[in-house]
Structure 1
Amino acid sequence: MSTEPDYDHLLRSNLQRVFNERDPAARATALDELYVAEPTMFEPDAVVHGRAEISRIAGQLLERFGPDFAFTPIGSAVGHHGLAHLAWQAGPNNGPVAVTGADVAEIQDGRIARLWVLLNPPT
């Protein structure tokens, strides 16, 4: 009998250690730990292949939105049978929420293989 990975820990770590990490070396280390060797990330306007490209996109996002911008999980991630979901919000620290969405991940051997970044429509 196989055991399920800790989906909440995995997706929260992804949010904090990849998408909130401003240090490229620390982000690369996190990607090596959290993602399979050749992951794919699906964004609303792009498909990104590989850890290095995911790191580049995360770094660009943080640069574009400024030093106080951060992603914050909403609730806990849920998942089973290799599929997980974590809702989040993002914006400046102590500021208004700029965007909300969710990460949906396909997990293989305890690591993220494919990640879909879903954005909620603006309210």
Structure 2
Amino acid sequence: MEENLLAVFNERDPQRRLTVVRRNYAPDVRWSDPEETVVGQDRLHEKAQELLEGPLSGLTFTQAGPVYQTANLGLLAFHIVPLDRAGAGSSAPLISGYDVAIVEDDVIAQLFTVIANAPH
């Protein structure tokens, strides 16, 4: 769950991100967020890049608590915060939410991103 958040959705380098995507997700992974559902590693990777270059440009994810896990279900809360001058996240979250993953055969088969608090 931590690698999903930090090494995929915080990774600005597309090649490093793709390496993690190939290792952590099923080939036919389904990722649903408030906008849409995408299917497959390549589409998940492309959408992450689109978000990082678009609405998440200048922002970063921070972990907002421990990973919770039961059976094949994982949950991790996050904050999205502005990057400071040193490239680290500031403390005031702009958006909060959580990722829920269903794991099959030791990889994420389904990922759900839920936004709990966002600017209007």
Question: TM-score interval w.r.t. the shorter chain?
Answer: 0.7 to 0.9
- Give the 3-state SS of the residue equivalent to 2:67 in structure 1: strand
Which ranges of structure 2 fall in alignment gaps of 5 or more residues? 84-89
Alignment length (residue pairs): 112
Which residue, 96, 100, 105 being the options, matches 1:100?
96
Instruction: Quote how far apart the aligned CAs of 1:95 are.
Output: 6.0
Match of 2:59 in 1: 69
Q: Please list, as runs of the form range in 1=range in 2, the aligned pairs for 1:1-123 lying within 5 A after superposition.
A: 11-64=1-54, 65-66=56-57, 68-93=58-83, 94=90, 96-122=92-118
Q: Structure 1: which 4+ aligned runs deviate by more than 3 Å?
A: none
Show CA shifts across 1:2-38 (max 9, x none).
xxxxxxxxx0001111101111111110001111121
TM-score (ref. length: structure 2): 0.87
Match of 2:87 in 1: none
Whole-angstrom CA distance in 1 between matches of 2:72 and 2:45: 23
* Bigger helix fraction: 1
Instruction: Quote how far apart the aligned CAs of 1:89 are.
Output: 0.3
Over aligned residue pairs, what C-alpha RMSD do you find?
A: 1.4
Show CA shifts across 1:14-70 (max 9, x none).
11111011111111100011111210001112010011111111111111132x311
TM-score (ref. length: structure 1): 0.85
Which ranges of structure 1 fall in alignment gaps of 5 or more residues? 1-10
